Chain A
Amino acid sequence: MSTESHGFNLREWIFTTDHKRIGVLYLIGSIAAFSVAGIQALMIRIEQSSLGPTLVHDVATGGNQYNVWLYFHGAAMILGFLIPGLTGFAANYFLPLMIGAKDVAFPRVNAFSVWLFYAGIVMALLTFVVGDPPDVMWTGYPPYSVLTSGNTAFYVFTVHLLGFASILGAVNFLVTVIYMRAPGMGWNQLNMFVWSTVTAFVIQLVFVPVLASAVTMLLFDKYLGTHFFDPANGGDVLLYQNLFWFYSHPAVYVILLPALGILYEVVATSAKNMIFNYKAAVYGGMWGIVLISGEVWIHHLYIAGMPNWIRIGMMVSTLLISVPVGLLTISLFGTLFRGAITYTIQMKYAAACLFLFLIGGLTGIPLAMTVMTTHLSETSFVHAHFHYIMGIFSTFAVFAAVYYWFPKMTGKLAGEKLGNLGFWFNFIGVNVTFMPLFIIGVQGMPRRYWNYEMFPQFEPFHKVALLGAILVAIGMGMTILNWVISAISGEKSPANPWKSASLEWTDCANPPGPGNFTKDVVIKPEWTPYNYV
């Protein structure tokens, strides 16, 4: 019995508890969030491309418009695209297939969480409908978020809904991996993507409740008259930032880890090679990140007047992240060594990711050093850094995932021509956009400034950045169009187009029917998903 034979049935999609359909629903929702947030990004670039008001009405009220774009771009990209795209779409669809499971442990809970996610996306989109939209950035720092006339409640409820969806997903997937692996499948036979998802969900489970409590206090302060963050009434003005980053720094690893997991799958399959030093990458790299992720958040508060001892202490812990990240880098790069690389579109995205990872990772080192941030913090250097490592790197990983598993999801091959063209527009575009921002960041260009008349020398750099953004917009349009066209009228794919050794390719149909596997999967002791002979 195959899902294809049913034809399209809306009711089936709404009431589905099948992890694959839920995965597709996550993909559609997150690409929608990505598209709207991408348009905001383009508007931000256009606004900065000239000194005076460009898109905004005038100097006095321009901030009202611009700040809403910034808010939506940040909140929707992180909470609505990257986290659900990686841990919602990719984990939902492929994790059960990789471990030989028929579904996740709690399919109805899974269905509930995808609809919570949609409610969160709708809540975020209301930004463009309500008269007093939230303008608090994705960070929502009080006292501003409490004092503003903007509707902070929409921000809080968006975080609540998406956070709740995340917690449910975390419990579900951890239970699935622990209890539902195919008979015989040992911990050292798991796909790198499975490990990366497990570690990401451990982080989510530990830290999301902290974020939820922080934004709830914000809600109470603004609407119920409490004073958690109001120093005039005994509150602590920095409490929120501490709680927020206690979650939100680990959250970057919730994005980074599954993105790396996807790259491992793509690189190992494209190079037909085993993972270089698998155990060091899993136990030292991924679990090392989990271990350190909760001890570094002060690097987001380096210039917030915290005591010296903690600013220096967390400089050391932050720098030490280079150890697990370094192990992962060596393992990922090492997987190319003596490989047999085929350059598919997903491999091009993966190769681009190696470059983005280097730029983004290395520019993080000065930002880990407390004293360097006295100049670099809150400039476009930071802005460019986290776009490389979190924004673009992870987006490219999601794109690599869609291309890699496109035949699995649709039974069809994605178009190469438009796909490759889109890739080059995207890759060249992102570098043209963000390289100039590094340069002017070191020279002092402040973040979140639409009006930079005090630094007119930066205008040409912003013009170049806009050119890059236009290239990206074209590339993204081509990519999404390519997926839609190929899903409808693409060429039929062979059963295992990349000749992968991983279970989702060797033992499932394209796309897999209900129950995923036609016969029971039993894993032999010598089997690994990267065993190419």
Chain B
Amino acid sequence: MKGRLVALSIPGIVTPGVLWAAESAKKVVDPVENWNHLWNEVLIDLFIMGTVFSVLAIHWLIKYKATSPDQVGRGPKLTRAQSWAWAMVPAFIFMADDFFLAAKGWTVWNIYRNVPDNAYEIKVTGNMWYWQFEYPNGVTTTYSYDTKEGDGLMVPVGTPVVLRMTSNDVIHSFGLPAYRVKEDVMPGRVTYIWFNPLEEKQTWVTCVEFCGVLHSQMYAPVKAVPRAKFDEWLQKKKSTT
């Protein structure tokens, strides 16, 4: 009987999961939106825990102020059962919260690591101390902090962009706060991130792994432009080089 119940429950668990996965695969996923949503949920979680502990602490710090110098505390002496309860009950509450957050985090993580099939691929190379971007047609761009010249990273609006990244010298890290992505860039390995530029805007990538004297000058503009404008720019770039 028990075995049958378990067997029956399997499709009950799997079917909605598959349906949900199929549904979510169809939607346009935006890592930024997912990140922000999760961040808000985590903040609520922290706020609740922080409030409980700080209200208790402040209340007790005021309430239990000694009234005479010879007064001593009357803290509760726990029985064996109470001691176990005060260890196990909070432990399970904390664990429940941990697994809840881990599950939430894992879901969004999967979005971050699964690159959409239609993603536009750009190669990124970290150098001391500048970024180099290479597009599928062989065009390369860069940016100089000194002269403030160079295109930096151009991406088309509405197309997911995947960056395949490596380094020519030391470890750098590609940090793009506006799109909530970041990953280290290392010699001898290729790492990736992807993001979804949904609107036209200019933002900045900064190197976020310490890499020497000009670490804080190793930045470049990231411009999301409409697809037509992007294609035009890329063609023009191709013909001039």
Contacts and interface: CB of A to CB of B under 8 A. Distances in A.
A533 B77 CA distance: 13
Given A277-B78, A323-B98, A451 B216 contact: yes
A63 B206 CA distance: 15
Which of A279, A303, A316 counts the most B-chain CB atoms under 10 A from its CB?
Answer: A303
B3 interface: no
B186 interface: yes
B217 A451 contact: yes
Given A271-B64, A330-B90, A374-B35, A305 B187 contact: no
Interface stretch (B68-76, B223-231, B232-240): B68-76
Interface stretch (B8-16, B44-52, B116-124): B44-52
A377 B186 contact: no
B53 A329 contact: yes
Interface stretch (B21-29, B130-138, B155-163, B167-175): B167-175
A43 to B, nearest CB: 15
A362 B50 contact: yes
Nearest to A354: B57
Given A280-B87, A327-B91, A449-B216, A237 B105 contact: no
Contact of A362 (B46, B183, B219): B46
Contact of A326 (B42, B54, B90, B209): B90
A378 B212 contact: no
B186 A327 contact: no
Contact of B208 (A339, A359, A378, A442): A378
Given A371-B112, A375-B180, A449-B215, A338 B188 contact: no
Contacts of A330: 86, 90
A63 B73 contact: no
Contact of B106 (A315, A342, A449): A315
Nearest to B66: A340
Given A333-B53, A365-B42, A371-B105, A144 B98 contact: no
Interface in A167-190: none
B20 interface: no
A221 interface: no
B175 A378 contact: yes
A333 B53 CA distance: 8
A342 B109 CA distance: 49
Interface stretch (A112-120, A135-143, A257-265): A135-143
A415 interface: no
A79 B177 CA distance: 32
B38 interface: yes
Given A303-B183, A323-B95, A443-B177, A378 B209 contact: yes
Interface in A27-77: 59-61, 63-64, 67
A341 interface: yes
A328 to B, nearest CB: 11
Contacts of A277: 78, 83, 86-87
B18 interface: no
A276 interface: yes
Interface in B196-230: 204, 206-217, 219
B2 interface: no
A237 B75 CA distance: 54
Contacts of A329: 53
B33 to A, nearest CB: 13
B39 A272 contact: no
Given A238-B186, A330-B90, A320 B105 contact: no
Contacts of B72: 272-273, 340, 532-533
A69 B181 CA distance: 29
Given A277-B87, A327-B90, A237 B188 contact: yes
B184 A274 contact: no
A495 to B, nearest CB: 15
B35 to A, nearest CB: 6
Contact of B210 (A144, A327, A343, A359): A144
A10 interface: no
Contacts of B204: 454-455
Interface string B123-167: 000000000000000000000011000000000000000000000
Contacts of A141: 171, 209-210
A358 B50 contact: yes
Contact of A232 (B56, B97, B182, B188): B188
Contacts of A368: 101
Interface in A280-328: 280, 284, 303-305, 308, 311-312, 315-316, 319-320, 322-323, 326-327
Interface in A333-353: 333-343, 351
A74 B106 CA distance: 32
Contacts of A532: 72-73
B170 A371 contact: no
Given A374-B182, A448-B216, A533-B72, A284 B170 contact: no
Contacts of B102: 312, 315-316, 319, 369
A445 B65 CA distance: 42
Contacts of A355: 54, 57
A463 interface: no
A311 B105 CA distance: 11
A370 interface: yes
Contact of A312 (B97, B106, B188, B209): B106
Given A272-B66, A358-B54, A532-B73, A375 B189 contact: no
A446 B187 contact: no
Given A305-B183, A333-B60, A341 B213 contact: no
B61 interface: yes
Interface string A142-154: 1110011000000
B4 interface: no
Contacts of A231: 186-189
Nearest to B74: A338
B206 to A, nearest CB: 5
A338 B182 contact: no
A452 interface: yes
Contact of B61 (A135, A274, A351): A351
A270 B196 CA distance: 56
A237 B168 CA distance: 12
Given A336-B57, A358-B50, A237 B95 contact: no
A339 B184 contact: no
Contacts of B65: 340-341, 343
Contact of A378 (B77, B113, B182): B182
Nearest to A454: B204
9 contacts: A59-B145, A59-B146, A67-B213, A303-B183, A323-B95, A340-B73, A358-B53, A369-B104, A532-B73
Q: Which 10 A-B pairs have the closest CB atoms?
A: A231-B188, A444-B177, A273-B73, A280-B87, A378-B208, A63-B213, A319-B98, A305-B191, A449-B216, A339-B73
